[in-house]
Amino acid sequence: MAKIEIKEVPEVRGFSTVKKVPNRAALQRDLKPNAILIFHGKEGHEMVVEIFTPDPNGDKTLPPATMAVTKFSGSAEKVDNAYATLLFWALKEGKSLGSPTREVYLKIDTTQSPPEVEVEVQAPVQ
Protein backbone atom coordinates (compact mmCIF):
# COMPACT_ATOMS: atom_id res chain seq x y z
CA MET A 1 0.00 0.00 0.00
CA ALA A 2 1.21 3.52 -0.80
CA LYS A 3 2.47 5.70 2.02
CA ILE A 4 -0.04 8.08 3.61
CA GLU A 5 1.01 10.96 5.83
CA ILE A 6 -0.85 13.67 7.70
CA LYS A 7 0.55 17.01 6.61
CA GLU A 8 -0.06 20.60 7.62
CA VAL A 9 -0.38 22.33 4.24
CA PRO A 10 0.45 26.06 4.47
CA GLU A 11 -1.53 28.91 2.97
CA VAL A 12 -0.78 29.47 -0.73
CA ARG A 13 -1.42 32.61 -2.79
CA GLY A 14 -2.05 32.45 -6.49
CA PHE A 15 -4.47 32.81 -9.36
CA SER A 16 -7.35 30.48 -10.15
CA THR A 17 -9.82 29.60 -12.85
CA VAL A 18 -12.85 27.37 -12.36
CA LYS A 19 -13.86 24.92 -15.09
CA LYS A 20 -16.67 22.44 -15.53
CA VAL A 21 -15.43 19.38 -17.39
CA PRO A 22 -16.99 16.02 -18.31
CA ASN A 23 -13.98 13.95 -17.21
CA ARG A 24 -10.35 13.95 -16.10
CA ALA A 25 -9.05 13.76 -19.69
CA ALA A 26 -10.49 17.25 -20.33
CA LEU A 27 -7.96 18.63 -17.81
CA GLN A 28 -4.80 17.42 -19.58
CA ARG A 29 -3.96 20.87 -21.01
CA ASP A 30 -4.11 22.32 -17.48
CA LEU A 31 -1.46 19.96 -16.08
CA LYS A 32 1.68 21.96 -15.40
CA PRO A 33 4.37 21.66 -12.72
CA ASN A 34 3.20 23.28 -9.47
CA ALA A 35 -0.41 23.55 -10.67
CA ILE A 36 -2.96 22.62 -8.03
CA LEU A 37 -6.26 21.13 -9.16
CA ILE A 38 -9.00 21.55 -6.55
CA PHE A 39 -12.05 19.34 -6.97
CA HIS A 40 -15.28 21.00 -5.80
CA GLY A 41 -17.70 18.19 -6.67
CA LYS A 42 -20.13 17.80 -9.54
CA GLU A 43 -22.85 19.79 -11.22
CA GLY A 44 -24.97 17.45 -13.24
CA HIS A 45 -22.61 15.28 -15.28
CA GLU A 46 -19.66 17.67 -15.01
CA MET A 47 -16.84 17.96 -12.48
CA VAL A 48 -16.23 21.42 -11.03
CA VAL A 49 -12.47 21.92 -10.93
CA GLU A 50 -10.46 24.93 -9.88
CA ILE A 51 -7.07 25.26 -11.57
CA PHE A 52 -4.86 27.13 -9.11
CA THR A 53 -1.47 28.54 -10.11
CA PRO A 54 0.70 29.50 -7.14
CA ASP A 55 2.04 33.06 -7.37
CA PRO A 56 2.93 35.34 -4.43
CA ASN A 57 1.18 38.21 -6.28
CA GLY A 58 -2.02 36.22 -6.76
CA ASP A 59 -5.50 37.48 -5.98
CA LYS A 60 -6.65 34.32 -4.18
CA THR A 61 -5.43 32.49 -1.09
CA LEU A 62 -5.84 28.78 -0.45
CA PRO A 63 -6.22 28.43 3.31
CA PRO A 64 -3.91 26.26 5.38
CA ALA A 65 -5.29 22.79 6.07
CA THR A 66 -4.56 19.46 7.70
CA MET A 67 -4.45 16.93 4.87
CA ALA A 68 -4.05 13.20 4.37
CA VAL A 69 -1.48 13.01 1.58
CA THR A 70 -0.26 10.33 -0.79
CA LYS A 71 1.95 10.54 -3.88
CA PHE A 72 1.10 8.99 -7.23
CA SER A 73 3.41 8.44 -10.19
CA GLY A 74 2.11 7.14 -13.49
CA SER A 75 -0.44 7.83 -16.20
CA ALA A 76 -2.51 10.99 -15.66
CA GLU A 77 -5.57 8.86 -16.42
CA LYS A 78 -4.92 6.74 -13.31
CA VAL A 79 -4.57 9.44 -10.64
CA ASP A 80 -7.93 8.27 -9.26
CA ASN A 81 -6.07 5.24 -7.87
CA ALA A 82 -4.54 7.56 -5.26
CA TYR A 83 -8.04 8.42 -4.02
CA ALA A 84 -8.77 4.73 -3.48
CA THR A 85 -5.56 4.50 -1.46
CA LEU A 86 -6.65 7.44 0.71
CA LEU A 87 -10.13 5.99 1.23
CA PHE A 88 -8.84 2.55 2.27
CA TRP A 89 -6.40 4.22 4.67
CA ALA A 90 -9.19 6.37 6.19
CA LEU A 91 -11.42 3.32 6.71
CA LYS A 92 -8.59 1.39 8.35
CA GLU A 93 -7.60 4.32 10.60
CA GLY A 94 -11.15 5.39 11.47
CA LYS A 95 -10.65 8.81 9.89
CA SER A 96 -13.03 10.91 7.81
CA LEU A 97 -11.88 12.64 4.65
CA GLY A 98 -13.41 15.94 3.63
CA SER A 99 -13.47 18.12 0.57
CA PRO A 100 -12.40 19.81 -1.53
CA THR A 101 -9.52 17.55 -2.47
CA ARG A 102 -6.36 18.88 -4.08
CA GLU A 103 -3.90 17.48 -6.60
CA VAL A 104 -0.50 19.18 -6.58
CA TYR A 105 1.37 18.40 -9.80
CA LEU A 106 5.09 17.98 -9.19
CA LYS A 107 6.27 16.61 -12.57
CA ILE A 108 4.59 16.16 -15.93
CA ASP A 109 5.92 14.37 -18.99
CA THR A 110 3.81 15.48 -21.94
CA THR A 111 5.88 13.46 -24.41
CA GLN A 112 3.67 10.54 -23.37
CA SER A 113 0.01 10.21 -24.31
CA PRO A 114 -1.66 10.36 -21.83
CA PRO A 115 0.94 12.35 -19.88
CA GLU A 116 2.98 10.68 -17.14
CA VAL A 117 2.73 12.60 -13.88
CA GLU A 118 4.02 12.77 -10.36
CA VAL A 119 1.29 14.22 -8.18
CA GLU A 120 0.59 14.69 -4.50
CA VAL A 121 -3.07 13.96 -3.77
CA GLN A 122 -4.41 15.73 -0.67
CA ALA A 123 -7.71 15.27 1.17
CA PRO A 124 -8.73 17.21 4.28
CA VAL A 125 -8.76 15.05 7.41
CA GLN A 126 -11.69 15.53 9.75
Using one digit for the tens of pLDDT, what is the confidence trace for 19-65? 999 998 899 889 999 999 999 999 999 999 999 999 999 999 999 99
Domains and CATH numbers, the chain: 5-124 (3.20.80.10)
Q: What is the DSSP letter of 76?
A: G
Question: pTM for this one?
Answer: 0.93
pLDDT category at 1 given cuts 50, 70, 90 is low
What is the pLDDT, as a whole number, of residue 110?
85
Give the number of other CB atoms < 10 A from CB of residue 72: 21
Residue 27, classed as helix, strand or coil, is helix
What is the pLDDT, as a whole number, of residue 12?
97
